[in-house]
Amino acid sequence: MPKVNEKIREEQDAVLRIIERSPDGIGIQEMLQVKDLKLSKRTLQRRLSELVQMGRLRKEGEGRALKYISQAKDRFQERITIPVSKEGEEIRKYVNLPLQSRMPVGYNAEFLEEYIPNSTEYLPKSLCEQLHRIGTSSNGQRPAGTFARDILNRLLIDLSWASSRLEGNTYDRLDTKRLIEFGQAAVGKDAIETQMILNHKAAIELLVKEAENIGFNSYTLLNLHALLSDGLLPNPEDSGRIRQRAVDIAGTVYVPVSIPQKTEDYFGMLLEKASAIRDPFEQSFFVMVHIPYLQPFIDVNKRVSRLAANIPFIKGNLSPLSFIDLPERVYIEGMLGVYEMNRSELLRDVFVWSYERSCQNYVAVKQGLVPPDPFRMRYRQELSETVRVIVKRGRKITPDTVKAAAPSSIAGEDIDRFVDLAMKELSMLHEGNIARFAIRLSEFSAWQRKIK
């Protein structure tokens, strides 16, 4: 690397060290007063701009109130390292060069066109076999989505949190759990961050609940985008449709295809090829590579790719991919390798490490699960409705009130057993499980006061 690039990197690192000492952010004038920062104002502004483009910093405020804040908020995550192949290290070395040292590139259609399903291999067969061994559950012959439904509460929290964190979201896992289970937004967080988490929850629920109907088709991908982008786009009409204008991606010299008709054509080709891939792991990784590379949507493309990567796992009752504990920087570097070099080896390293990490979590979760009660499963919706009615109407827990609240869809021969089950659920109701029945904390508290 030329000496001038080494100097730039050292200056960027010096700026980062100063900003990381200020968790609430710091302005340019304050930075210029730091004694160990030997930079002119103009050079400092250039380094700050570069770091923002690289995703290492974000700006907050305007004018004199403008502050720069480090994106490396989770110190635990920054300490995590993942095994990287020799090819992955080559990619990292290139994509960490300053932007001005990397060759600008446009969309390379041949990268997609030359991929032949079940012939081209992004993941070697031996690697796919390894992932099959660790990801296969005991639900292989059961209906699509069985395994994901069994661990749904955990998956909603893990995947919503981890995927959002890869976008710079500052919610921690506990904040995410409270938001998803109780509807409690974290104090001091931006409304956009809260919306992002809730959008992930809705999108994951779609994939799990519609497991038998989803696939790599326009319906699934467009609706996935609509849910993930809800309330987050400047133009709401862009939600759930192929983009109609050019886009830029910060921190890279890659320029996606700009002609709407070509974007739509390549999107159709992408879905056709993805649908034809037989191996679920190759299929999953293929969409993690090509959806962000094409950028078929005006924004939220990487989020769509991460959830779409779970489609073959949900349908095949394999352990899902939650991206838990994945360091943000190495994921970004893997995507930059795809964008600027059409090389997927580093992203492959990320994919394999993330999947193995996810499996460790969900195998342990599955081992602790009690086999579901068929009767409860049969009347799951009616049970939720009954519990919700009792609470919202402030009724006491008696056989008569429960029977009166029970839906008419319950078979006559099952009503007594159903009433017993509903009374048991009501007696065990507390703040930590009311979200299962779509009951708000305020409604639960009011009911508790009434029945005392």
CATH number at residue 345: 1.10.3290.10
Q: Which residues contact 182 (CB under 8 A, 6 or more apart)?
A: 431, 434, 435, 441
> Does residue 343 share a domain with residue 246?
yes
> Does residue 13 share a domain with residue 148?
no
Question: Which neighbouring-strand residues pair with 106?
Answer: 255
Q: Is residue 83 part of a domain?
A: no
> Does residue 197 share a domain with residue 134?
yes
Q: How many helices, marked H, and strands, marked E, lie in the chain?
A: 23, 4
Where a domain ends, among 56, 72, 88?
Answer: 72
Residue 58: φ, ψ to 5° = -135, 155
Q: Is pLDDT at 2 greater than 50 in this prediction?
A: no
Band of pLDDT at residue 364, cut at 50, 70 and 90: low
d(CA 260, CA 246): 8
Q: Is pLDDT at 75 greater than 60 in this prediction?
A: no
Q: Is pLDDT at 81 greater than 80 in this prediction?
A: no
> Does residue 384 share a domain with residue 363?
no
Residue pair 317/139 in contact by the 8 Å Cβ criterion: yes
Between 54 and 247, the higher pLDDT residue? 247
> Does residue 332 share a domain with residue 407?
no
Q: What is the pLDDT of residue 11?
A: 85
Q: Is residue 32 part of a domain?
A: yes
Supply the mean pLDDT for the chain.
Answer: 89
A 10 A CB-CB count for 6 gives: 10
Q: Is residue 90 part of a domain?
A: no
Q: What is the pLDDT of residue 37?
A: 81
Q: Is the dihedral of CA 288, 290, 293, 296 positive or negative?
A: negative
d(CA 65, CA 74): 25
Q: What is the pLDDT of residue 168?
A: 87
Where a domain ends, among 326, 347, 367?
Answer: 367
Q: Is pLDDT at 373 greater than 90 in this prediction?
A: no
Number of domain units in the chain: 3
Q: What is the pLDDT of residue 18?
A: 84
- For residue 192, count CB atoms less than 10 angstroms from its CB and return exposed for 0-12, middle for 13-18, buried for 19 or more: exposed
Q: Copy the structure tokens of residue 55.
A: 């995703």
Between 53 and 174, the higher pLDDT residue? 174
- For residue 296, count CB atoms less than 10 angstroms from its CB and return exposed for 0-12, middle for 13-18, buried for 19 or more: buried
**First and final CA of the chain: distance in angstroms?**
74
> Does residue 29 share a domain with residue 152?
no
Q: Is residue 82 part of a domain?
A: no
> Does residue 359 share a domain with residue 226?
yes
d(CA 33, CA 447): 58
The pTM (predicted TM-score) of the whole model is 0.68
d(CA 109, CA 295): 13
> 134-168: string of b/e by CB count within 10 Å (b at 16+)?
ebebebeeeebbbbbbbbbbbbbbbbbbbbbbbee
Q: Is pLDDT at 313 greater than 90 in this prediction?
A: yes
Residue pair 171/151 in contact by the 8 Å Cβ criterion: no
Structural domain boundaries, residue 322: 102-367
> Does residue 172 share a domain with residue 296?
yes
- Mean pLDDT to the nearest integer, 169-176: 90
Residue pair 262/294 in contact by the 8 Å Cβ criterion: no
Q: What is the pLDDT of residue 4?
A: 45
CATH code of residue 65? 1.10.10.10
> Does residue 51 share a domain with residue 149?
no
- Mean pLDDT to the nearest integer, 176-196: 91
Q: Is residue 204 part of a domain?
A: yes
Q: Is pLDDT at 56 greater than 90 in this prediction?
A: no
> Does residue 215 share a domain with residue 137?
yes
Q: Is residue 443 part of a domain?
A: yes
d(CA 320, CA 154): 11
Q: What is the pLDDT of residue 78?
A: 47
Question: Which neighbouring-strand residues pair with 70?
Answer: 57
d(CA 256, CA 302): 14
Range from 136-145, 279-288, 349-358 carrying the lowest mean pLDDT: 136-145
> Does residue 420 share a domain with residue 295?
no
Q: Is pLDDT at 3 greater than 50 in this prediction?
A: no
Q: Is residue 80 part of a domain?
A: no
Residue pair 375/417 in contact by the 8 Å Cβ criterion: yes
* CA-based nearest residue to 249, from 212, 290, 181, 295: 295
- For residue 227, count CB atoms less than 10 angstroms from its CB and return exposed for 0-12, middle for 13-18, buried for 19 or more: buried
Between 155 and 52, the higher pLDDT residue? 155
Highest mean pLDDT among 36-45, 145-154, 270-279, 379-388: 270-279
Q: Is residue 176 part of a domain?
A: yes
Where a domain ends, among 310, 337, 367?
Answer: 367
* CA-based nearest residue to 369, from 198, 165, 152: 152
> Does residue 157 share a domain with residue 179?
yes
**What single letter denotes the amino acid at residue 191?**
A
Band of pLDDT at residue 58, cut at 50, 70 and 90: confident
Q: Are strands 57-60 and 67-70 parallel, antiparallel or unpaired?
A: antiparallel
